Amino acid sequence: MIIGAAALLVGALIGFAGRKVMVEARLGTAEASAKAIISEAEKEAERIRREAHVEAKETIHNLRSETERELKGRRSDMQRLERRLMQREEMLESKEVEAEKRDKRAASWEEHLKAQESKLAKAAAEQKRLLEKVARMTTQEARDHLLQTVSDEVKRDSALFIKEEEARAREEAEKRARKIVSLAIQRCASEHVAETTVSVVPLPSDEMKGRIIGREGRNIRTFENLTGINLIIDDTPEAVILSSFDPVRREIARLTLEKLITDGRIQPARIEEMYEKSKAEVENQIREAGEEAPFEVGLHNLNKELVRALGRLKFRTSYGQNVLMHALEVSHLSGIMAAELGLDPKVPKRAGLLHDIGKAIDHEVEGSHALIGAELAKRLGESNVICHAVEAHHGEVEIRTIEAVLVQAADAISAARPGARRETLESYIKRLEKLETLADSFPGVERAYAMQAGREIRIVVQSESVDDLESATLARDIAKEVEEQLDYPGQIKITVIRETRVVEYAK
């Protein structure tokens, strides 16, 4: 065992010594390899450094070359700019010299002109003095005389030109207008005298008046409270008068009273019953009349409220002319004239039918019936063309469309035709007096006479103060004043008469 242990120990020692030798041999080999690698790396680094040094030298050389070339280019540009500046300085110096020469010449010319102006002023003053001496008037007097002469000549020439142009235009326009209006009137047949609303109810006897009044006036009070009108019972034999600004209420009251008179039983309860029946009957007439009117002129799609307003016009009159009949006539005339002019007749027809729609509510709303009607039509969906024709048919708004012109003309034709309207004697006389007074207010007018029921005025002028050309101007001025200040149906003819009489006596 001791020997074995010793052998193991010896073997271990030998193995340790062998391994140490092997490790030392490997370490030597590794050191040699490392030294070789380090040497190779040092060589490679030296090579790279030399290459980088060479590249840097080449880059520096290239940059230096480019910089030198750029500097040379800039130096050449600066030299060219310097040469240009030198040339400009030389040119400015030469121009400055020339300008100085010109200034000197201008100064000499200015002195010369001043001397000439002084001579001319003296000559003009002398000439003016001689002219004033020869003409025997001052410069201001001569100027005023010349201006007055030129002004008179211009007035005469302008009056002559205006007269000729107006005559030519009037002749052509009258031919065309006369043809259109005559065709429209021939194709539109209307009643000679339109229907009017009756406000006087006949009675079978005067005894009926007491029954209408009733015991202590209870019947008449009930009647007036229900209908909203005034029942006038006076000394008129066998008749009573219904008074109200509302034509529909007046018609309901008339029917109610007629039914009560026919029935004979007049008492508050019976009055209420007959009132309701008459009201329903009038409402039915309004609806039927409103529906028949657009159907008669071939129009459709009218608002229901507009249809009802048209029906109310059946009971409204103007100067004795039924307004609904007048609206239908205007609609027909507007459509016919539009067709003659080559226009679509639907819009003028619609505007003509609705042009007096404001009269259906003008007793409820303040203002002109034209403006009220335009506002009502606009609120109920009518187009701007229709609304403008409605508001402009009496000239309260400036006319902007041909449809408005046609409606205005048709309205004048319908109102001015013979038998269309009635007029009280008092208003008729006042209109004639206003017409004559307006004509007499113009200078040079000697006398003025209204003729043909106010449709013509003849004016006699003073022949010594108004010549023939001024007569044309005077007629035009009077026509403008009549249009602005007076209200009248149709048109008024202005005739200016100038005559010269020479009287001599043989002795």
CATH topology for 200-416?
Hypothetical protein af1432 (1.10.3210)
pLDDT at 193: 41
> Is the confidence at residue 196, as pLDDT, over 50?
no
Mean pLDDT of all residues in 253-278 = 87
Which helix (DSSP H) or strand (DSSP E) does residue 68 occupy? helix 2-135
Mean pLDDT of all residues in 495-506 = 84
pLDDT digits (tens, 9 = 90+) for 363-406: 777 778 888 888 988 998 889 999 999 998 887 788 888 888 88
> Is the confidence at residue 115, as pLDDT, over 80?
yes
Beta strands in 398-455 (DSSP E): 445-451
- Please say whether the beta carbons of 126 and 134 come within 8 A: no
Please return the burial class of 197, using the count of CB atoms within 10 Å of its CB with bins 0-12, 13-18 and 19+: middle
Name, in order, each residue with C-beta under 8 angstroms of 398's C-beta and a sequence gap of 6 or more: 392
Q: Which of 316, 493, 329 is closest to 409 using CA atoms?
A: 329
- pLDDT category of residue 428 using cuts at 50, 70 and 90: low
Mean pLDDT of all residues in 320-343 = 86
More confident residue, 286 or 158: 286
pTM of the model: 0.49
Q: Which of 422, 360, 65, 396 is closest to 388 using CA atoms?
A: 396
> Is the confidence at residue 267, as pLDDT, over 80?
yes
- pLDDT category of residue 192 using cuts at 50, 70 and 90: very low
pLDDT at 197: 42
pLDDT at 387: 92
Name, in order, each residue with C-beta under 8 angstroms of 395's C-beta and a sequence gap of 6 or more: 408
Four-way CATH pick for 425-497: 3.90.180.10, 3.20.20.70, 3.30.300.20, 3.40.50.300 = 3.30.300.20
Q: What percent of the chain has pLDDT over 70?
A: 90
Q: Of 111-125, 229-243, 279-293, where does mean pLDDT reach its minimum?
A: 229-243
Token pair of 124 as six digits: 């003009």
The CA distance from 137 to 299, in Å, is 77
Can you give the residue ranges of every domain in the chain? 15-51, 89-135, 137-178, 200-416, 425-497
Token pair of 421 as six digits: 């309207």
pLDDT digits (tens, 9 = 90+) for 46-102: 888 888 888 888 888 888 888 888 898 889 899 999 999 999 988 998 888 888 888
- Please say whether the beta carbons of 421 and 318 come within 8 A: yes
